[in-house]
């Protein structure tokens, strides 16, 4: 699609002689061509993002289709053993899914309540000065690389856990869940705070006028009014936890394991992808293809959650004014 025509004054303004009108027109025409070229160039740059999506889907699909020509979809989705590199190969993705969801659930248990309460504190309770201190600190927390969180989990949280639960594995799901939980607190708190702030002041004042306490105003008026934004932030945070890679690779281990015990070593989808790509896996082998099948699974899950989060925002938004 060509961009819109330029906004330009109509031709042939106040030029006095035919010659100058002619040169004026020629100038404008060349300017017009130049403008169109720039518009096209800018459009192409914007289109790159679409190409990236097409590229991701194409790359994942090609190898995934090859993978499924050798392994049945049914086995992949229902098998409970994941041993692609062993002599006796099994391609059940459930242990990896279980690992990812266990970390996601554990981190959500930490980050959702803490993040929401932090958001309420920042938007309803904290003074402007306190906000000016706390918000940059939370931004720093959000900006810490995930490999650093992995280090923190392995060298600080895991030893701490082993003093309380000596049976804890060196690599375990619980430490990973705790650091991923800490990592996504800022996602929940900052998006939820935006939603809480968007609730008009008159709603609060109306409730205070009826004699409500601050607790009642916050939990029965402001939070319900901002619920769509809060839920969207929850979904987005969980999707981030599922896609989280380095912290879980370092802290949770590399053992595909269908377990509900968070003190055991597990493997998430992301950690599996890392472990395969650390070794030099030749293209065309089944192990190389599992990379894409697992990547596709991860991509679809996070994409669905992101779209869900946008849908919740759009569908349940309370419009004020």
Partner 1 sequence: MTAQHPAIGEGRSALDRKRRAKGAVFAVLCGAATAVGVLSLAVLLVDVVADGIGSLDADFMTSFASRFPERAGIKAALAGSVWILFLTASIAFPLSVAAAIYLEEYAGEGWISRAIQTNIANLAGVPSIVYGILGLAFFVRTLGFDRSVISGALTLSLLVMPVIIIASQEAIRAVPSTIREAAYGLGATRWQVVSRQILPMAMPGIMTGTILALSRAVGETAPLIMVGAVGFIAFTPDGLRDPFTVLPLQIYNWVSRPQDEFRALAAAGIIVLLALLLSMNAVAIVLRNRYRTRI
List 152, 161, 172, 262, residue binding partner 1 (CB under 8 A): 152
Per-residue binding string, partner 1, 42-61, x by CB under 8 A, is xx-xxxxxx-xx-xx--xx-
- Using the rule CB under 8 A, is 70 a contact of partner 1? no
Q: Hey, which residues between 192 and 221 contact partner 1 (CB under 8 A)?
A: 208, 211-219
Per-residue binding string, partner 1, 9-38, x by CB under 8 A, is x---------------------x--xx--x
Integer Cα distance of 251 and 150 in angstroms? 6
User: Residue 91: what are its φ and ψ, rounded to 5°?
Assistant: -120, 45
What Å distances lie between residue 212 and 27, 121, 125, 216, CA to CA? 70, 18, 15, 6
Count of alpha carbons within 13 Å of 150, Cβ hemisphere only?
15
Q: How far is the CB of 218 from partner 1 (least distance, A)?
A: 7
Contact (CB, 8 A) for 177 and 238: no
Q: How far is the CB of 255 from partner 1 (least distance, A)?
A: 15
Token pair 């015990």 in the structure block, residue: 261
CB closer to partner 1, 4 vs 88: 4
- Using the rule CB under 8 A, is 233 a contact of partner 1? no
- Using the rule CB under 8 A, is 128 a contact of partner 1? no
Q: Hey, which residues between 262 and 281 contact partner 1 (CB under 8 A)?
A: 270, 273-274, 277-278
List 245, 255, 259, 263, residue binding partner 1 (CB under 8 A): 245
Integer Cα distance of 274 and 269 in angstroms? 9
Contact (CB, 8 A) for 92 and 83: no
């Amino acid at each position: 699609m060509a961009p819109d025509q330029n906004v330009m004054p109509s031709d042939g303004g106040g030029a006095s002689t035919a010659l100058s009108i002619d040169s004026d027109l020629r100038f404008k025409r060349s300017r017009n061509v130049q403008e169109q070229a720039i518009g096209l160039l800018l459009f192409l740059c914007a289109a790159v993002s679409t190409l990236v999506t097409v590229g991701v889907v194409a790359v994942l699909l090609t190898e995934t289709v090859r993978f499924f020509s050798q392994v049945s979809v049914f086995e992949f989705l229902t098998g409970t053993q994941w041993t692609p590199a062993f002599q006796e190969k099994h391609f059940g993705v459930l242990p990896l899914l279980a690992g990812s969801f266990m970390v996601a659930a554990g981190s959500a248990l930490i980050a959702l309540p803490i993040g929401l309460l932090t958001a309420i504190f920042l938007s309803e309770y904290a003074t402007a000065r306190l906000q000016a201190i706390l918000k940059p600190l939370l931004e720093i927390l959000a900006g810490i690389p995930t490999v650093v969180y992995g280090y923190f989990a392995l060298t600080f949280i895991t030893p701490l856990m082993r003093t309380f639960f000596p049976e804890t594995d060196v690599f375990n799901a619980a430490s990973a869940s705790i650091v991923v939980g800490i990592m996504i607190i800022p996602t929940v708190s900052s998006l939820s705070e935006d939603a809480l702030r968007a609730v008009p002041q008159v709603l609060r004042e109306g409730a205070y006028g009826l004699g409500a306490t601050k607790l009642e105003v916050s939990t029965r008026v402001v939070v319900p009014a901002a619920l769509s934004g809060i839920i969207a932030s929850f979904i987005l945070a969980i999707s981030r936890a599922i896609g989280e890679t380095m912290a879980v690779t370092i802290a949770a281990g590399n053992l595909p394991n269908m377990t509900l015990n968070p003190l055991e070593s597990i493997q998430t989808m992301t950690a599996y992808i890392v472990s395969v790509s650390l070794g030099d896996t030749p293209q065309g082998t089944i192990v190389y293809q599992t990379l894409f099948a697992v990547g596709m699974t991860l991509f679809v899950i996070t994409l669905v959650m992101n779209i869900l989060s946008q849908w919740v925002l759009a569908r349940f938004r309370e419009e004020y004014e």
